[in-house]
Amino acid sequence: MTTAAPLTDPVRYVSAIRAKGLSIYDPILVGDPNYWIPTPELQALLDEGLRGMSLAGLPLRTRSKVVKTRVCEVLGYPVPSSFKKTQPRFLGQMFDTYTQKSNNLQVWNEELSASRRYVIIRISDADVITRVKVVTGDALALLDTTGTLTRKYQARCIPGVNPTELIAAYDTDRLSPFVALKVDLDRIATPVLHPAIGQILSIETVFARLSALVGKGFPDAGADQERNRGAAVHRLVCEALGYRSYQDDGQFPDVRHQLLEVKLQTSPTIDLGLVTPESVEPLDVPMIGGKQIRHCDVRYGIFYASIESGTVRLTHFFLTTGAAFFSRFPQFQGKVLNAKLQIPLRADFFHT
């Protein structure tokens, strides 16, 4: 298999799917450079293809079928005579569709899945599609404030004497062949592009650049503004790595181009969501050098901070691979069962 370019034209996936004659049920390897549509490209295709579509006057069941039919057409799939009750409905691309007038997403009788995509379609009061957002189950899990998710993983971070710790001295064997010691990120990339051979900094280089952030501070947005605090750290990280601009599309990992997830801790409990860092499940990025990238290949940069006199001060920095994560941060987890998940979508959910 060939390696996908870091910038992909979404239409090429549609052409390939149509030429191959795939059905929505035909399995596709996550990251397949020809047929698997990565989440950012999937969102671009569906947002352009569905926006402006009117569902006025349609009963709910008919509305659902009309939307699924249009999704098939947009992605290059033939429309099945009837839609099977598979989980998820679009089995090959691993996604379900949800039409939303309210900001309360309801998922019935099934767990959120980290590897599944959720196509959330905003409908206006006039029953016209105004926006399409595609997120993974893990991204949705971060929005849950009810504690009703079936499975949520957590770990504990206790800072030590050293302000910086490189927990994994080397990248995973899967990722190592594709990293570089020096990359001019200012010239070639933005943080949300797909990772590519020769554009991924080694874990040692990432550690050297981000360790310099220890001691830096920024104004505290408030006790209930964790997202804004996280965004402030994310901005500092992008600058320290050498990117010209800060970008965040809300997908995992935060700095997709460097396969780097960034976490800010002001307390010991690290929320990990639906998947553990050591998981060998494939990551939703195009294959690199014909190899599937897994969750355990992702690098985790964890900043510990104190808050004093209205300032968030970074006091410690840890960097590890997903594979080595639990060698430093002890894991614990809780389980709760709930037949109906109600996840409140942020007011700005469709605008980020």
pLDDT digits (tens, 9 = 90+) for 334-348: 544 343 455 666 666
Task: Please state the separation of Cα 286 from the chain's center in Å.
Answer: 13
Q: Is residue 283 located within the same domain as residue 171?
A: yes
290 plus 330 within the same structural domain? yes
Q: Which helix (H) or strand (E) holds 318?
A: strand 311-321
The predicted model scores a pTM of: 0.84
Q: Cα separation of 172 and 170, whole Å? A: 6
Give domain status of residue 5, yes or no.
no
In a shared domain, residues 102 and 193: no
Residues 6+ apart with CB under 8 A from 273: 114, 138, 141, 142, 152, 153
Q: What is the DSSP letter of 297?
A: G
Residue 259 has which token pair? Answer: 């396969």
User: CA 135, CA 107: separation in Å to the nearest integer?
Assistant: 14
Q: How many domains does the chain have?
A: 2
Are 54 and 197 found together in one domain? no
Give the model's pLDDT for residue 147: 52
196's tokens: 């590519």
Does 252 map to a domain? yes
pLDDT given at position 9: 86
Low-confidence ranges of the chain (pLDDT < 70): 1-8, 102, 104, 106-111, 142-152, 222-225, 333-352
Q: Is residue 4 part of a domain?
A: no
- Residue 297 pLDDT: 98
273 and 299 inside one domain: yes
Q: Are residues 297 and 239 part of one domain? A: yes
User: Which region, left, alpha or beta, applies to residue 274 given φ > 0 means left and ψ of -120 to 50 means alpha?
Assistant: alpha
Residues 290 and 346 in one domain: no
pLDDT for 348: 63
**Amino acid occupying residue 205:** T
Do 90 and 25 share a structural domain? yes
**Residue 135 forms beta bridges with which residues?**
118
Q: Please name the residue ranges forming H helices in 10-163.
A: 10-20, 39-50, 60-75, 137-141
Give yes or no: residues 301 and 318 share one domain.
yes
The answer to whether residues 171 and 270 belong to one domain is yes
Residue 225 resides in a domain: yes
Q: Assess whether 322 and 342 both reside in one domain.
A: no
Q: For residue 260, give its domain range.
A: 153-335
* Helix (H), strand (E) at residue 320: strand 311-321
Say if 1 falls within a structural domain: no
pLDDT of residue 131: 93
